[in-house]
């Protein structure tokens, strides 16, 4: 079974721009969660989608949004980028989000 | 009350030694406690997990010890190998909450 695929692997943007990250979950997994990983804050939960519906949301500003498509693929969007948004963004898929998470390799976002 | 505290931040062990990483939680509603292993450039990968109705779980060289009354759990790596050098995260989740709460991570270095 193919693992979780995240694209792109690296992104460099400037402040004020917008970015979209993509995640393809493991086949059969309907839950997709997004996490932000930074050296200072560890892994922080952004949001979780299940069957195209956002079920849970973390404590991030409204500039962070996401969606899930009928094939379970998910996208995450960050608008009006700030320097502090520089981080590794990880997508995780699971059968149900509170149990075993299978992570992708992440998208490393650098905001200049 | 969602916090999971992990220690130590870094750990150096000789090859063949025992590595021990500890975590403490506050939310008594947590009912799933996984450990993830992360290598540079990769996303975290599930290593081993335990539920609170069990005090210990062993898989190969990896053991989780769980103390429900103390709200603590720990990862023991027996016969540590240089290939075990990675960052380890403990996590906790609650059925229906839709997210995992992660510790800040422990960087393990196993010296040959």
In tens, the pLDDT along A16-68 reads 999 999 999 999 999 999 999 998 778 999 999 999 999 889 999 999 999 99
Band (pLDDT 50/70/90 cuts) for residue A15 is very high
Query: Taking CB atoms and an 8 Å cutoff, what residues of chain B touch A55?
Result: 98
Q: Do B43 and A43 touch (CB under 8 A)?
A: no
Question: Which residue out of B3, B34, B43 would a mutagenesis test of the A interface target, given it has the greatest number of A Cβ atoms within 10 Å?
Answer: B43
* Mean pLDDT taken over chain A: 93
B89/A105 Cβ within 8 A: no
Q: Which of A24, A34, A42 to mutate to test the interface with B (most CBs of B within 10 A)?
A: A42
Which of B32, B89, B98 lies closest to A48 in CB terms? B98
* Residue A36: strand pairing partners: A44, A89
CA distance A24 to A2: 10
Q: Could B32 and A97 be called an inter-chain contact, meaning their C-beta atoms sit closer than 8 Å?
A: no
> To the nearest whole angstrom, how far is the Cα of B43 from the nearest Cα of chain A?
4
A42 and B42: CB-CB below 8 Å? no
Mean pLDDT of B54-62: 96
- Per-residue pLDDT, B95: 78
Partners of B100 on chain A (C-beta within 8 Å) are 33, 45, 97-98, 101
Q: Do A98 and B100 touch (CB under 8 A)?
A: yes
Cβ separation of B99 and A90 shorter than 8 Å? no
Per DSSP, what are the bridge partners of residue B67? B72
| Own/partner long-range contacts of B65-71 (Cβ < 8 Å, ≥24 apart) | B66/B33, B70/B24, B71/B24, B71/B25, B71/B26, B71/B28
Question: 3-class SS at A56?
Answer: strand
Residue pLDDT, tens place only, B72-110: 999 999 999 999 999 999 999 987 777 889 999 999 999
């Amino acid at each position: 079974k193919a693992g979780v695929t995240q694209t792109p692997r690296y992104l460099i943007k400037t402040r004020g721009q917008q970015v979209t990250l993509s995640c393809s979950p493991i086949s059969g997994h309907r839950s997709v969660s997004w996490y932000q990983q930074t050296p200072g804050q560890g892994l922080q939960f952004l949001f979780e989608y299940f069957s195209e519906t956002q079920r849970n949301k973390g404590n991030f500003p409204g500039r962070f949004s996401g969606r899930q498509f009928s094939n379970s693929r998910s996208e995450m969007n960050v608008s009006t980028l700030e320097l502090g948004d520089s981080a590794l963004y990880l997508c995780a898929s699971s059968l149900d989000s509170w149990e075993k998470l299978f992570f992708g390799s992440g998208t490393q976002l650098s905001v200049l | 009350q969602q916090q999971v505290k992990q220690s130590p931040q870094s750990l150096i062990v000789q090859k063949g030694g025992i590595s021990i990483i500890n975590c403490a939680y506050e939310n008594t509603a947590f009912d799933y406690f996984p450990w993830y292993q992360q290598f540079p450039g990769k996303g975290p990968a599930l290593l081993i997990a335990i539920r609170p109705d069990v005090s210990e779980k062993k898989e190969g060289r990896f053991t989780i010890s769980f103390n429900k009354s103390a709200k603590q759990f720990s990862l023991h790596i027996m016969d540590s190998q240089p290939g075990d050098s990675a960052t380890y995260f403990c996590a906790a989740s609650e059925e229906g909450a839709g997210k995992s709460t992660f510790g800040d991570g422990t960087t393990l270095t196993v010296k040959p």
